[in-house]
């Protein structure tokens, strides 16, 4: 190669690098503004005075529109086009190409949505969320109805902007979980629904009944706070880069070195906060454990909501409700709680916290019945977007489905259709990712057991990090290097297989209930 050719080649490489670096600087700005939005969202739920809701809706609408303007900056489109058409494009690394792909995907979505719609949607969802809080407290669905109808119509409008040729619910499902659709969820949920109903029947018919009074013992809030902090430390949630607060609905927000989680405390149900903290702690660890060298790159974000839920559900259930964990932790719980659980035996405690009991509230549901709560919401959302039902029908349809699927009578809307915050924020299509997270998590667990045959013995000794380190290395640090199907294949050696969850639940609960 002549000196002239080498010089020209170097110039092309330098020019490519300058364009690539400029593109990354623009996406970093978008993420930083997004972090400010998350922080304001946290403040809205945790600290904001009630009377500030209208003012906050204006602030968040402004930030959303400001960030949207950054997302649709025409220079991003120009840089993407020039980089992809450059003869040096094929010489980029896997991570560089993945970054380009993710930027292009986000840019294509953002440019389809008008800025004024972003502001309208954000403002409507902030107001709807505050009205939902009041409606739930007052058991008044009629108060919430017009706001929910507005958010739903805006969600349909968003789906139409993103892809007018697809079923609107498919668009939103893919928005939260790339590659997912109604058809794919049906393929997973239908056999899971059937298997779950059968497993519930077997547990109900077992003579081995849990002592529910153990869970109902009153635990003062100051002791629950001590338990929460202890659980967080065991799960390796870094309190130097996070914090725990209370909110109407437990949630996690933030990234990297500022990841915040919340819980809620019930004096006569200490497991509510215990498992909420384990669940949100799983989310928090994922956000804290993204590889440092990937921060503020497109690959330096979480893979998807389903994968995020796989971590929270893994920490909550596969670790937090396991017999190995409680062999270690029950003595520690007795010490922290002083006299409250001193007379409780290991076997009866384990069955009590793993009791299979159809109930009203999703976030309080056990590991088995939980998936039916999600499938119920998925079916309602699906039917809404297919115009088979109306928003006003939801309270009665909710009651009918709860009776049909879980055999539970719903006494009021506060414990029924009003129990979740998600719809008020416009998160239609989010709910299915919870059960998808269970499916991912069970498949990850099957691979972990192959890689670490003595995992249960380690857990019995309190070496929780044996499991959390495996998750950190195999899932969390990978960030958004792969789309969900490819990540599952990369981690486990095969694509998604829902049978792992069915097998996990049947094996665990046949042992607990002795059938």
- Give the pair of three-digit tokens for residue 276: 């909420």
| DSSP three-state, residue 255 | strand
280 as an active site residue: the answer is: yes
Q: How far apart are CA 52 and CA 44, in angstroms?
A: 9
Cβ(311)–Cβ(285) below 8 Å: yes
Positive or negative, the Cα torsion across 171, 177, 179, 183?
Answer: negative
111, 73 in Cβ contact below 8 A?
A: no
Count of H helices and E strands in the chain?
A: 20, 3
Measure the CA–CA gap between 261 and 252, rounded to whole angstroms.
Answer: 4
* Catalytic hit among 177, 280, 316, 381: 280
3: burial class by Cβ within 10 Å (0-12, 13-18, 19+)? exposed
Alpha-carbon distance 388 to 158, whole Å? 20
Alpha carbon of residue 403 to chain centroid = 27
**CA–centroid distance for 67 within its chain:** 23
CA distances for 75 relative to 63, 81, 394, angstroms: 20, 10, 45
Q: Which residues are catalytic?
A: 280
């Amino acid at each position: 190669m002549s000196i002239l050719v080498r010089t020209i080649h170097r110039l092309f490489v330098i020019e490519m690098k300058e364009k690539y670096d400029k593109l990354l600087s623009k996406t970093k700005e978008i993420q930083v503004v997004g972090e400010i939005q998350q922080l304001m969202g946290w403040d809205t739920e945790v600290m904001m005075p009630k009377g500030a809701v209208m003012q906050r809706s204006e602030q968040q609408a402004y930030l959303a529109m400001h960030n949207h303007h950054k997302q649709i900056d025409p220079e991003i489109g120009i840089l993407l086009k020039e980089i992809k058409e450059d003869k040096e494009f094929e010489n980029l690394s896997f991570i560089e190409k993945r970054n380009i792909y993710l930027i292009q995907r986000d840019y294509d979505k953002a440019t389809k949505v008008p800025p004024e719609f972003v502001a309208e949607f954000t403002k409507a969802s902030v107001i709807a969320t505050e009205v939902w809080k009041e409606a739930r407290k007052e058991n008044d669905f009629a108060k919430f109805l017009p706001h929910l109808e507005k958010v739903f119509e805006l969600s349909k409008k968003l789906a139409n902007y993103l892809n007018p040729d697809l079923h609107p619910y498919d668009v939103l499902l893919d928005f939260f979980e790339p590659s997912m659709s109604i058809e794919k969820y049906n393929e997973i949920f239908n056999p899971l629904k059937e298997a779950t109903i059968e497993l519930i029947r077997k547990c109900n018919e077992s003579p081995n009944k849990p002592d529910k009074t153990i869970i109902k013992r009153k635990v003062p809030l100051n002791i629950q706070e001590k338990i929460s902090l202890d659980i967080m430390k065991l799960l390796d949630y870094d309190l130097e880069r996070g914090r725990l607060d209370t909110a109407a609905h437990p949630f996690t927000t933030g990234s990297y070195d500022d990841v915040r989680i919340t819980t809620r405390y019930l004096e006569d149900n200490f497991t509510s906060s215990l498992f909420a903290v384990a669940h949100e702690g799983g989310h928090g660890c994922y956000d804290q454990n993204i590889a440092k060298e990937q921060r503020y790159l497109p690959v330096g974000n979480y893979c998807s909501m389903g994968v995020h839920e796989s971590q929270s559900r893994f920490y909550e259930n596969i670790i937090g409700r396991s017999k190995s964990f409680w062999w270690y932790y029950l003595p520690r719980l007795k010490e922290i709680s002083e006299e409250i659980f001193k007379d409780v035996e290991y076997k009866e405690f384990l069955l009590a916290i793993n009791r299979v009991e159809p109930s009203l509230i999703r976030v309080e549901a056990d590991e088995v019945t939980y998936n039916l709560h999600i499938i119920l919401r998925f079916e309602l959302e699906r039917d809404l977007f297919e115009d088979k039902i109306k928003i006003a029908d939801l309270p009665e349809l909710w009651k009918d489905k709860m009776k049909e699927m879980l055999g539970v009578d719903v006494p009021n809307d506060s414990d029924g259709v009003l129990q979740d915050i998600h719809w008020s924020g416009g998160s239609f299509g989010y709910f299915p990712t919870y059960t998808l997270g269970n499916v991912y998590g069970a498949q990850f667990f099957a691979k972990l057991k192959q890689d670490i045959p003595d995992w249960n013995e380690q857990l019995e000794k309190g070496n929780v990090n044996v499991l959390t380190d495996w998750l950190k290395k195999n899932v969390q640090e990978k960030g958004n290097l792969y789309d969900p199907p490819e990540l599952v294949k990369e981690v486990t050696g095969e694509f998604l297989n829902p049978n792992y969850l069915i097998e996990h639940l049947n094996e665990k609960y046949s042992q607990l209930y002795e059938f």
